[in-house]
Amino acid sequence: MGITSATRHKPSGSDKQPTAATAQPHLPQGTGRQRAATQSTDAQRERILQAAAQLFAAQGYANTTMAQIVRALGVTKPFVYYYFRDKQEIFETLSWRPAVDCFTALDFAADDPRRASEKVLEGIERLIRATIAHHPVAFFPYREPQVYRPEYIAAQKKLAHHFYDLLCPLLEEARRDGDLDFGETKITALAACSLPGFLYSWYRPGGRLSPDEVVAELTKLASRVIGLRAKD
């Protein structure tokens, strides 16, 4: 599902509007009783996250208990509480990772010389690919939006604003370049990027199409939404 210890973690409490440099904050270590991160403790955190992700995906947040996570790991409750404050923090940590990967999909280098339309298409493709790569965790917010704390929701909205603050000007630049043909910018942006959101209702690994083929199909549909003009 694309979860690694290198994936960026939850945000700090800053209210500053994120930019390409600030949209990737890290969760301070030691939210349970842990005080310092090491390679060993990172591996243990990943072990807990992987076990919890499988349970959340199979039976939902409400029906998953810390006791079940403990049993799946074959450890004691103090072991899990050493790394995580509670079940909700585990769920939010899992959910934050795909959120960051999706909403930083347009974080290109400032000196990237490509046309705006190329960046738009690559960013949307990255968004779709990240959603699939993080299956099933990327779909938790669609399935159970009521679980998250207001602080988490606010942080996720900051990330989303960061993404659309990059996408909308790129769309308009590409339209001025004559590469795209669309009407209202924000509606077009939301419509194109809503395509991967529907994956949660039908996507299953091992289906008729491979992940790469699903990415290609959805990217092609998104290109039509944004009015990509055929090259002569």
CATH classification of the domain holding 53: 1.10.357.10
Burial group, residue 131, by CB count within 10 angstroms (0-12, 13-18, 19+) = buried
Does residue 65 fall inside a structural domain? yes
Residue position matching structure tokens 């998104």: 222
DSSP letter at 208? S
Looking at residue 27, its pLDDT comes to 43
Q: Mean pLDDT for each 10-residue chunk of the chain (232 residues)? A: 37 38 41 67 92 97 98 96 95 96 96 97 97 95 95 95 98 98 98 91 90 96 95 69
The vertex-164 CA angle with 162 and 169, nearest 5°, equals 110
Does residue 32 fall inside a structural domain? no
The number of folded domains in the chain is 1
Looking at residue 14, its pLDDT comes to 36
Does residue 20 fall inside a structural domain? no
Q: Are the beta carbons of 179 and 116 closer than 8 angstroms?
A: yes
Does residue 185 fall inside a structural domain? yes
CA dist., res. 193 & res. 204, Å (int): 20
Burial group, residue 74, by CB count within 10 angstroms (0-12, 13-18, 19+) = exposed
Looking at residue 113, its pLDDT comes to 97
Looking at residue 197, its pLDDT comes to 86
Q: Which domain holds residue 160?
A: 39-225
180, β-bridge pairs: 228
Biggest CA–CA distance in the chain, Å, is 65
Does residue 29 fall inside a structural domain? no
Q: Are the beta carbons of 27 and 34 closer than 8 angstroms?
A: no
